[in-house]
Amino acid sequence: MSRFLFHPNHIHLSAALSGLVLLGILSPAIAQNDTPDWTACAKIDADVERLACFDRLASVGPKAIEDDAATEEEWRQPTGDEPTPDPFAEAQAEQDSITPQTEKSEPVALKRRLESEQSGERNPFVMRGYKPNYIMPATYTPTDLSRDVYDFDPQHAETKFQLSFQFDWFEDPFGPNTALYFAYSQLSLWQTYNTEFLGAEGDASSPFRETNYEPEAGLTLDTDYSLAGLTFKRARFSLIHTSNGQGGERSRSWNRLVASTAFGRGNFAGRLRGWYRLPEANEDENPDITDYMGYGDLMLAYKWNEQTIAATLRNNLDFDNNKGAIQVDYTFPLSKRVKGYVQYFNGYGESLIDYNRSISRIGMGIALTDWL
């Protein structure tokens, strides 16, 4: 473009272009004489355009004006060789630049979860979440929770919370992408409102009805294997012990060898586990627990707009005496660190003390971490 477009005395680009077009119309008269025709500029009424005309004539002469006018005209008129812009194609190209095609089939949600775990592993002041960490002050079950082993009368409303974390204590023991890990989970059912102060009968004093302690250790193998449109990102082989820490008739525990795999596609992720119960060395406190808890479970989760919905399904696969359970978790953002949390459970094995009793429960509270 001509230099006058960037002259410090010129204020508006549109006004300068207008003056340039006008000079292009007058250029035949100017071209007949090498001496600049100042009268052509004097006829311009607008101050900015007239100043632009005089400045241009004084600096480069009439020939440059003719060349610039021709150039400007060429710029304004399409050559015919260029395709007509497609706004829809441009919008799609912009979207593709944000979300590449290859990412649409990748396990985006699961990949981000695993990358977050790795980032936390490098920070000694960060505890890596494992299962969802939540507290639900308000839960309700219509099921009668009474048992002969209790020395109190359980209420239908209670608090439920879970703490769960993990860490790698030895990296690359069998080559790259392997780790020996340890995890711990604790699930508690607390009779928060079972007190005389709140009108409860008897001498109950907000007892913990049940707490399950679950340490586990094993081998992690990170993978990148694709099958049936899914990408399998992690496999684990674990030893899991679960106990309620009680004695006598209230004692419950079992040990399992577990194999699991985590897979995903896009915002969808899942985890499939299968287990084998190890025989008890001493007296078996719950010999029929696999009849109710089955031999594995399946967790499916989906994430969108910072919300996560997940369902965990378990079944003994016995068609003659079928037993199972389903738990649905829903989280949504409340703040940068805290999420709203809603949970629904129905079936057997919500806790060890209730492994052989079907319970339905709805609750709500807050969560610090979820499955994704």
Residue closest to 277 by CA, chosen among 261, 245, 260, 253: 253
Average pLDDT over residues 195-215: 86
Task: State pLDDT tens for residues 92-102.
Answer: 554 444 444 44
Give 278's Cβ-side CA count (13 Å radius): 14
Q: Which residues are catalytic?
A: 241, 243
Q: In the chain, what are the domains?
A: 3-76 (no CATH), 104-369 (2.40.230.10)
Q: State residue 271 phi and psi, 5-degree precision.
A: -140, 130
Closest-CA residue to 369 (of 344, 343, 339): 339
pTM: 0.71
- What tokens appear for 348 in the block? 């057997």
Q: Which of 12-16, 226-230, 296-300, 361-365 has the lowest mean pLDDT?
A: 12-16
Q: What was the pLDDT predicted at 340?
A: 98
Q: How far apart are CA 364 and CA 343, in angstroms?
A: 6
Distance of CA 87 to the CA centre of its chain: 31
Report the alpha-carbon distance of residue 234 to residue 118 in Å, rounded: 13
Q: What are phi and psi of 90, to 5 degrees?
A: -65, -40
The rounded distance, in Å, linking the Cα atoms of 277 and 289 is: 9
The DSSP call for residue 250 is G
Q: Do residues 271 and 298 lie in contact, with contact meaning Cβ atoms separated by under 8 Å?
A: yes
Q: Is the pLDDT of residue 6 over 60?
A: no
Residue holding tokens 């400045």? Answer: 55
Q: How confident is the model over 246-260, as a mean pLDDT?
A: 95
pLDDT (average), residues 293-322:
96
Instruction: Give pLDDT, residue 357.
Output: 96
Q: Check: CB of residue 19 under 8 Å from CB of residue 9.
A: no
Structure tokens at 73: 């005209």
Tell me, what's the pLDDT at 47?
72
Segment 261-272 mean pLDDT: 97
Q: What whole-number distance in Å separates Cα of residue 202 and Cα of residue 196?
A: 7
pLDDT of residue 222: 96
- Residues ≥6 apart with Cβ < 8 Å to 21: 69, 72
**Banded pLDDT at 328 (limits 50, 70, 90):** very high
For 124-144, the pLDDT digits (tens) are 777 899 999 999 999 999 999
**What is the structure's pLDDT at 204?**
75
At 44-65, the pLDDT tens digits run 777 767 777 777 777 655 555 4
